[in-house]
């Protein structure tokens, strides 16, 4: 069985972070492993507390996995600060991990900080040069590129700038374009642009969409898919999960990780 690793924060509410990643790995039939960078107290209403674990705890978890089990692909999510990012970058180099998906998680839906401002430099200069693909949403792409994104052509310009960091593929997610009838994502391979478009659903149950999307890409890469097929499957997976979103809690409910497999069983 192929293996996938997530290095991210814990969301006790189960909709985002490590919990969303492991559910996605399971649904896409890869063996899931996790390295926790921070514990959050969180629910559908927002983030009530952030408790980082520190670099030693992160490094020891990575070593435990690498020295025994290894992984076929990995993703990073909430990394909290530059010390954790630098430690992870060293380990990715040491273990020659090539299929690294970086979801540059910065701010939660409710506006709470999940990545310290001082860490953005390390993310760009230490982690992105080692990454296979980076999956920013629009505000994250603005932060990484230094330009404002108002329209689709701006996404292309941002992708070009981010690509200069050395990352192989840049996938900018269009989920934050709320007045559009479609959710239109853009992949850039350093030369050409590829669009992934699906229906956009009007729903407040979108907690964990970014985490789920990047872990679906990771699972498919672990199984040997090329980047284009991995992104296409991840897009189908997240679209189904949003369409069948779950009404749990009083705020932004989670997506439904079971929806994609349920549909393929019905077909
Ligand atoms: N309402 C929606 N309907 C359909 N697809 C959506 C919707 N919102 C987001 N998506 C898709 O979900 C995926 C994740 O994108 P999004 O921009 O939401 O990530 P994110 O901002 O990192 O997540 P979050 O907003 O939860 O932090 C993308 O493929 C995006 O196009
Ligand atoms: C621990 C943790 N990690 C990431 C997110 C962002 O979630 P999303 O997938 O919605 O961008 C979150 N809210 N909590």
pLDDT digits (tens, 9 = 90+) for 110-156: 888 999 999 999 999 999 999 999 999 999 999 999 999 998 899 99
pLDDT-based confidence at residue 219 (cuts at 50, 70, 90): very high
Instruction: Give the pLDDT score at 60.
Output: 98
Pocket test for ligand 2, best of 36, 53, 103, 114 (most atoms within 8 A of CB): 114
* Residue 195 pLDDT exceeds 80: yes
Contact by Cβ (8 Å): 142, 149 = yes
Task: Judge whether 266 lies within some domain.
Answer: no
Residue entry with tokens 């909290």: 80
Residue nearest to atom 6 of ligand 1 (CA): 175
Task: Judge whether 267 lies within some domain.
Answer: no
* Residue 37 pLDDT exceeds 80: yes
In percent, how much of the chain has pLDDT > 70? Answer: 99
Among 128-137, 162-171, 172-181, 243-252, the minimum mean pLDDT is found in 172-181
Q: Tell me, what DSSP letter sits at residue 157? A: H
- CA 182 / ligand 2 centre spacing (Å): 22
Q: Which residue has the higher pLDDT, 112 or 228?
A: 228
- Cα→Cα distances 18→34, 117, 174, 222, Å: 7, 22, 23, 17
In percent, how much of the chain has pLDDT > 90? Answer: 91
Question: What is the pTM assigned to this prediction?
Answer: 0.97
* Residue 247 pLDDT exceeds 80: yes
Give the mean pLDDT of the chain: 96
Structural domain count, the chain: 1
Instruction: Give the pLDDT score at 267.
Output: 64
pLDDT-based confidence at residue 187 (cuts at 50, 70, 90): very high
Residue entry with tokens 């077909």: 267
Cα–Cα distance between 258 and 230 in angstroms, integer?
18
Task: Judge whether 240 lies within some domain.
Answer: yes
Element holding 193 (H helix, E strand): strand 193-199
Contact by Cβ (8 Å): 25, 31 = yes
Instruction: Give the pLDDT score at 246.
Output: 87
Q: Tell me, what DSSP letter sits at residue 121? A: H
Residue nearest to atom 16 of ligand 1 (CA): 175
Domain that holds residue 92: 3-259
Task: Judge whether 191 lies within some domain.
Answer: yes
* CATH number, position 74: 3.40.1190.20
Q: For residue 201, which phi and psi values (nearest 5 degrees)?
A: -100, 140
Q: For residue 78, which phi and psi values (nearest 5 degrees)?
A: -65, 120
Element holding 160 (H helix, E strand): helix 152-163
Span 51-110, pLDDT tens digits:
999 999 999 999 999 999 999 999 999 999 999 999 999 999 999 999 999 999 999 988
Task: Judge whether 265 lies within some domain.
Answer: no
With a Cβ cut-off of 6 Å, ligand 1 is lined by 109, 137, 173-176, 183, 185, 198, 200-201, 203, 206, 208-210, 213, 235, 238-239, 242
- CA 212 / ligand 1 centre spacing (Å): 9
Task: Judge whether 21 lies within some domain.
Answer: yes
Helix then strand then coil, % of the chain, to nearest 5: 40, 25, 35
Cα–Cα distance between 105 and 131 in angstroms, integer?
15
| SS3 assignment, position 217 | helix
Task: Judge whether 195 lies within some domain.
Answer: yes
Task: Judge whether 247 lies within some domain.
Answer: yes
User: Which of 206, 265, 263, 207 shows the shortest CA–CA distance to 42?
Assistant: 207
């Amino acid at each position: 069985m192929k293996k996938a690793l997530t290095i991210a924060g814990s969301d006790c509410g189960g909709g985002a972070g490590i919990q969303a990643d492991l559910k996605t790995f399971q649904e896409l039939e890869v063996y899931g492993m996790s390295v926790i960078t921070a514990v959050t107290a969180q629910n559908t209403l927002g983030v009530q507390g952030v408790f980082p674990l520190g670099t030693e705890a992160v490094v020891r978890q990575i070593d435990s996995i690498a020295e025994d089990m290894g992984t076929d692909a990995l993703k990073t999510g909430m990394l909290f600060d530059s010390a954790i990012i630098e430690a992870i970058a060293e380990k990715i180099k040491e273990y020659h991990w090539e299929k690294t998906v970086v979801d540059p998680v910065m701010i939660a839906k409710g506006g709470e900080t999940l990545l310290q401002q001082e860490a953005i430099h390390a993310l760009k200069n230490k982690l992105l040069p080692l990454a296979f693909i980076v999956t920013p949403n629009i505000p994250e792409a603005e932060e990484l590129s230094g330009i404002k994104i108002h329209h689709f052509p701006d996404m292309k310009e941002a992708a070009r700038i981010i690509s200069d960091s050395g990352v192989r593929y840049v996938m900018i997610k269009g989920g934050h374009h709320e007045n559009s009838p479609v959710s239109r994502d853009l992949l850039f391979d350093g030369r050409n642009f590829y669009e992934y478009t699906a229906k956009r659903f009007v729903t407040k149950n979108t907690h964990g969409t970014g985490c789920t999307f990047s872990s679906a890409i990771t699972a498919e890469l672990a199984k040997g898919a090329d980047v284009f097929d991995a992104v296409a499957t991840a897009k189908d997976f997240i679209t189904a999960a949003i369409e069948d979103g779950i009404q749990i809690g009083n705020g932004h409910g989670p997506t439904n990780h079971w929806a994609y497999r349920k549909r393929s069983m019905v077909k």
